Chain A
Amino acid sequence: MAATASMMPIFQQQISSKNDLVPNWTSEEVSTGTTIMAVEYDGGVVIGADSRTTTGAYIANRVTDKLTRIHDRIYCSRSGSAADTQAIAEVVSYQLGFHSIELDERPLVETAANLFRASCYRYREELMAGILVAGWDRRKGGQVYCVPIGGMLVRQPVAVGGSGSSYIYGYMDSNYKPGLDKNQCLELTASALALAMERDGSSGGVIRLASISEDGVERRVLLGDQLPRFSTH
């Protein structure tokens, strides 16, 4: 037992660390430790994220917009290293924009997801990026694709990602069912994100939501007092 005990990190709940005089966020990488979520409904998708970006224990940005436009009807939500995900999203937006002009029509969500996967998989050793791609196209309607760390690609009717996602798997499994409408999806996403933000130290701030359908993209923000609340204990 002693051998394994020394190999494991010591999980101690600390009130303060020994050296609070020199903040360590100056040397930490910027991360969107995060909670992101996307849900398909008949006719579109709902995509949502929290708004916290951290460098170590410091919140570098408490109102981050992690919902990034890739094309008119395709958005992605980013988790992991802020730099990596911004860089990948820029590259994919460029590639998709070019492709769409060549085709002279709106690009498919599956195409966008594949472009993300191509970059994430090729550079999987260097990158730390977990991305949800969601949007609407004429061929398959609303779609959500998950591109987690490592560069896998899978389509799911509902997907969560980021450090806060572990806390809401149970909630999602019990509350999602196929056939929800847009407003129910928005409510489910907002509630799930609020629960995760309550438990995950790397998630917090405001909830940013977007619903994407044939008619366009509707964005909304849920500020502090508008966040869904649950009984505290």
Chain B
Amino acid sequence: ESVQNSQTNVMLHTKLNDTSMEYVSSKTINKVIQVHDQIFCCIAGSLADAQAVTKAAKSHLSFHSVQMESPPLVIAAASVLKELCYKNKEELQAGFITAGWDRKKGPQVYVVSLGGMLISQSVTIGGSGSTFIYGYVDAKYKPDMTREECQQFATNALALAMGRDNVSGGVVHLVVITEKGVEHVVVPGDKLPRFHDE
């Protein structure tokens, strides 16, 4: 049984528009948001927009699951986000990675990009730091990894991105979602894997 992790970089970096000062608002913000029992969402872009959208999606989904009398499908969660992003594309600046487990298709990962495109992928990365790890992810990912391999792969990839992207850093939040439930793993910066030049 394979588990697919989706990933996030976790530092909230704010640029004040009136002064030209950039500062780190928070080093420990959690960008992996729960939208249902076994469905989580990673947010990127404007965090204000992303939080507003996920709040709306969470309430939509909980209503939907009451109506259907069963937990929502992961694709339903992703679709709800996609509708919101697509219909409001002019005002919003937020992208999402939705991942979770449902009874119909098992573990799944979906990406909703900036303009509201929805696609399913087996592994995906996003956010400003993601550009630095495309090569690493393409090279190192192989289908049907075990849970431990997957966790190590995600942690390594995030550590590499945090090493290069100046607006990513702080702590790594990992959420492992399986049929049995959800586990939240936090890896603080000093416990991250190190590479040769550090």
Contact = CB atoms under 8 A, between A and B. Distances in A.
Contact of A233 (B17, B89, B121, B157): B121
A67 B123 CA distance: 35
A233 B124 CA distance: 10
15 contacts: A8-B93, A12-B89, A169-B164, A170-B133, A170-B157, A170-B161, A173-B164, A192-B135, A195-B135, A195-B138, A198-B138, A233-B121, A233-B123, A233-B141, A233-B143
Contacts, number: 88
A231 B137 CA distance: 10
Interface of A: 1-5, 8, 10-13, 166-174, 176-178, 191-192, 195-196, 198-199, 230-231, 233
A170 B135 contact: yes
Contacts of B163: 173
B69 interface: no
A166 B90 contact: no
B160 interface: yes
Interface stretch (B21-29, B30-38, B70-78, B110-118): B110-118
Given A13-B113, A173-B197, A174-B156, A1 B46 contact: yes
Contacts of B68: none
Contact of B143 (A12, A170, A176, A231): A231
A170 B114 contact: no
Given A1-B48, A173-B197, A233-B122, A199 B135 contact: yes
A169 B195 CA distance: 12
Contact of B131 (A166, A176, A177, A195): A166
A166 B134 CA distance: 9
Contacts of A231: 141-143
A230 B134 CA distance: 12
B108 to A, nearest CB: 14
Given A199-B135, A233-B122, 15 more contacts: A4-B46, A5-B92, A11-B114, A12-B115, A167-B132, A168-B136, A170-B157, A170-B164, A172-B135, A173-B163, A174-B195, A192-B135, A195-B138, A230-B138, A231-B143
Contacts of A199: 134-135, 138
Contact of A167 (B92, B115, B123, B134): B134
Contacts of A230: 138-139
A63 B122 CA distance: 33
B124 to A, nearest CB: 9
Contacts of A11: 114-115
A176, A192, A233: residue with the most chain B Cβ atoms closer than 10 Å: A233
